[in-house]
Amino acid sequence: MSLYGALTIGVAGLAANSQALSATSSNIANVNTVGYKNQTVNFETFLNIPGLAGNSSAGVSAVIGQDVTTQGLPTSTTSPTDMSISGNGFFVVASNASATATQEYTRAGNFTPDENGNLKNAAGLYLLGWKLDTQGNIPTNTSALSLINVSALTGKAQATANLGIQANLQSSAATNSTYTTGQMTSGAVTPDFQRTINVYDSQGGTQPITLSFVKTGANTWAYEAAYSGPAGNISSPNPIGTGTVSFNSDGTMKNVNGAAPASGSFNLTIPWAASTGLASQTVAVNLGAVGGTSGLSQFDSASTLNGTSPDGSPFGSITGVNIAKDGTVTALFSNGLSQAVYKVPVATFTNPDGLGQMNGDAYTATRGSGAANINQANTGGAGGIAAQTLEASTVDLATEFTNLITTQRAYSASARIVTTADQMLQELEQLKQ
């Protein structure tokens, strides 16, 4: 080994330990960075004269890597749009909000809405996901990802589809044997019992439906349903529903409209006019269980309405979002309704440590990592989504300070090699004088 070889080795040691110091510095600086994976340093020797047998001078080089597969501890937060991945995988993100943005991958799930409602994390990366259809299904083309927007829906209403009625019809009421269909609505016959019940249309509006009953025989009643709002709102004249209700001798429900098998309900279709812009609406009216008194009954007491239970809801504005373990993003509304609008996918790789590192704790797919596999959470090896949690940095501060001291001493030692070899070269030069 020559003095020049010693100089080369010393310089290599300085360079390698400089790189190690850089990695340690990055780790210490990012000890509180969400989703950060600590950088690793691996030293390897190299020979000054490759292929030379015997004891050749060996230098050193540093290989900087990142321990991507190690997971940080989850920490709880109060933000509903904060997320972490429990298990393997990465969030799929875009470098900006444009349609041509580069697709990247990250574990940093500190997402918040931007001025347009699109979720982006602290590094400015936009979260991508599947936009669900009205039935809550993901697209057939699972590669069709879009920006996740938590304010695209201004509100939601739900039309009444089911109406329950609890009432009693007085059994001792006089029988009207001359009644014909439509006479209660026209006013030709005075109903023995009549009540107006409000239901919701497809736009969240309140619409009045009047139910009228008249006794037509022993344990037999006729009913009429009429729309009590503006006449122009419906495309056919009142009544919009008619039929019969029969009771058992003990006052319990027997049958509605002579159905076979016996039933305690009927469907009422409201014929909305095209000018209203309302969707077609059929309401299942439940008058009670056959053989029971939970709905409509016939006892010898005054006819009375005990209660109604229409479903549906008036218009409500969006109040927030909820994210489930399977990545489903559900919008919550002030009227108590909810709607699944997006699903957050999880990207997995054959070799995550082969990913290319980008700014903002993000990665890109490389030949070393393999292509991204986009899966639903908790399927295909992908981890689950944990809302209101963030993945902490994997940096161990005590270990990094130890590495800092070790690197500093190794650097000083390499510098001493250089100065010593330089002094010996100077002495060699002085021999000529």
DSSP-assigned states of every residue in 182-250: THHHHTSS--SEEEEEEEE-TTS-EEEEEEEEEEEETTEEEEEEEE-S-GGGBSSPSPSEEEEEEE-TT
pLDDT of the residue at 135? 85
pLDDT of the residue at 157? 87
CB 43 within 8 A of CB 62: yes
What whole-number distance in Å separates Cα of residue 227 and Cα of residue 209? Answer: 5
pLDDT of the residue at 227? 97
CB 345 within 8 A of CB 129: yes
pLDDT of the residue at 192? 96
What whole-number distance in Å separates Cα of residue 83 and Cα of residue 124? Answer: 15
Which residues on neighbouring strands pair with residue 330, listed in sequence order? 322, 340
Here the tokens at position 359 are 């700014």
211 residue type, one letter: L
Q: How far is CA 418 from CA 50, 354, 415, 424, in A?
A: 22, 36, 5, 10
Q: Is 158 helix (H, G, I), strand (E, B) or coil?
A: strand
Here the tokens at position 101 are 């943005």
pLDDT of the residue at 154? 74
What whole-number distance in Å separates Cα of residue 209 and Cα of residue 226? Answer: 6
Sites in the chain below the pLDDT cut of 50: 52-54
Q: CA torsion, points 16, 20, 26, 31, in degrees to nearest 10?
A: 170
What whole-number distance in Å separates Cα of residue 191 and Cα of residue 211? Answer: 10
Helices 397-430 & 3-29, crossing angle to 10 degrees? 160
